[in-house]
Amino acid sequence: MNVKQTLLIIDDEPSICKILEHFLKKDFNVIVKHDGSEGMLWLEQGNETDLIIADLNMPNLSGKEFLKVAKASNLYADIPVIILSGSDESSERIQCLNLGADDFMLKPFNPMEVQAKINAILRRSKKYS
């Protein structure tokens, strides 16, 4: 039996969380947090996740700030992160990728594409682990 991998979804839009959770819960344990500091707190409590999906624009700790904190930490630096954004600003995308994001997706997104990207990233990170 395959143990489900865990996804941490951090987004302040309930509708986005619902869509992602609905689509991904068949294949993953899905944990939902509603802003970056909630997500960080969850990680700091010793919870483990295989991949993080974080919204770029959130209250308390934006996706970009979350990335900075996570990638600066020895504990979380290796966790793949996909950033979701409502803006197609290439400078934002470049900044996030430079900060260590593994991928960047625009909203509205196709949940099947999100799932495909998650699987691709997890396949790559398994190869190197």
Q: What is the pLDDT of residues 25-57, one digit of tens each?
A: 999 999 999 999 999 999 999 999 999 999 999
Please enumerate in sequence order all residues whose Cβ is within 8 A of that of 92, keeping only pairs 6 or more positions apart, or say none: 56, 64, 85
CA distance 45 to 101: 22
Sign of CA dihedral 27, 103, 114, 60: positive
CA distance 104 to 56: 9
Strand, helix or coil for residue 9: strand
| Mean pLDDT, range 70-94, rounded to an integer | 93
The pTM (predicted TM-score) of the whole model is 0.94
User: Any idea which architecture 5-128 has in CATH?
Assistant: 3-Layer(aba) Sandwich (3.40)
Which residue intervals of 29-110 are DSSP H helices? 36-44, 63-72, 90-98
Can you say how many angstroms the Cα of residue 83 is from the centroid of all Cα atoms in its chain? 6
Please enumerate in sequence order all residues whose Cβ is within 8 A of that of 21, keeping only pairs 6 or more positions apart, or say none: 9, 30, 32
CA distance 13 to 46: 25
Please report, as a single letter, which amino acid is at residue 72.
A
| Mean pLDDT, range 73-87, rounded to an integer | 94
| Mean pLDDT, range 2-17, rounded to an integer | 94
| Mean pLDDT, range 76-105, rounded to an integer | 94
CB 116 within 8 Å of CB 93: no
